[in-house]
């Protein structure tokens, strides 16, 4: 299992559990076992879903952790497969079968990996224009998905309180609604702090989920 993925999984689970007042120990152990197994991706997905089916209290995290499962596959499992596996018909079929799984968080995690590779600081403008290429004509699907981030980029320079307040005042698109606060909070404070969590706890209307996703992203970015 990739170390960054493990750090992100543990941090996110623990934050969600602490705010929700539940125990994450069994869930954590079972997910780490699944992530670490040498199985085909769809076999891992089946076992991954079985863990979530058995722990209904963590259901809100299922699809963001699916993104982590995908990142773990790219970082760890693919290395054990044939060269150019991600270009094969087999992987294309897997992508088709899982097309409705996961969230936009996957793009942010891929961007953070690129920042690590290039040794640059993550910035919202760079994420939108250089990674997602939202200004290019052929990437207008991404433009529409991320339009709410594009039009509110100034919030990344404000505060988590302002980010949370703004979310409550606008009609966000379905694809980015759940991720708006964690994404903006990350670009506002890429290194998690007690102050950031305190603001999320006070001002977020979905503090368990948004704090857990923020914990996931900042832990994934940590130490770089």
3-state secondary structure 188-210: HCCCCCHHHHHHHHHHCCCHHHH
The tokens of 96 are what? 């088709």
pLDDT at res. 172? 87
Q: What DSSP assignment string belongs to 100-153?
A: TSS-THHHHHHHHHHHHHHT----HHHIIIIIS-TTSGGGHHHHHHTHHHHHTG
**What's the pTM?**
0.94
Which position has the token pair 């722990």?
A: 55
38 neighbors 76 (Cβ within 8 angstroms): no
134 neighbors 150 (Cβ within 8 angstroms): yes
> How confident is the prediction along the chain (224 residues), in pLDDT tens digits per residue?
999 999 999 999 999 999 999 999 999 999 999 999 999 999 999 999 999 999 999 999 999 999 999 999 988 877 777 778 888 898 899 999 999 999 999 999 999 999 999 999 999 999 999 999 988 877 788 888 999 999 999 999 999 999 999 998 888 888 899 999 999 999 999 999 999 999 999 999 999 999 999 999 999 999 65
128 neighbors 146 (Cβ within 8 angstroms): yes
Which position has the token pair 């506002």?
A: 188
Residues 6+ apart with CB under 8 A from 198: none
């Amino acid at each position: 299992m990739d170390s960054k993925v493990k750090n992100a999984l543990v941090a996110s689970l623990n934050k969600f559990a602490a705010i929700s007042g539940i125990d994450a120990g069994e869930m954590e152990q079972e997910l780490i076992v699944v992530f670490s197994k040498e199985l085909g991706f769809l076999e891992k997905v089946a076992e991954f879903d079985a863990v979530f089916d058995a722990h209904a209290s963590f259901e809100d995290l299922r699809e963001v952790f699916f993104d982590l499962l995908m990142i773990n596959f790219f970082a760890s499992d693919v290395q054990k497969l044939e060269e150019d596996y991600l270009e094969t018909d087999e992987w294309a079929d897997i992508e088709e079968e899982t097309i409705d799984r996961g969230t936009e968080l996957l793009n942010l995690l891929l961007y953070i990996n690129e920042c690590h590779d290039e040794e640059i600081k993550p910035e919202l403008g760079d994420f939108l224009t250089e990674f997602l290429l939202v200004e290019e004509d052929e990437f207008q699907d991404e433009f529409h998905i991320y339009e709410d981030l594009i039009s509110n980029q100034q919030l990344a320079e404000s505060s988590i309180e302002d980010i949370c307040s703004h979310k409550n005042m606008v009609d966000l698109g379905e694809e980015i609604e759940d991720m708006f606060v964690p994404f903006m909070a990350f670009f506002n404070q890429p290194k998690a702090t007690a102050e950031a969590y305190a603001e999320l706890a006070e001002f977020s209307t979905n503090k368990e989920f948004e704090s857990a996703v923020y914990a996931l992203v900042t832990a994934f970015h940590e130490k770089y």
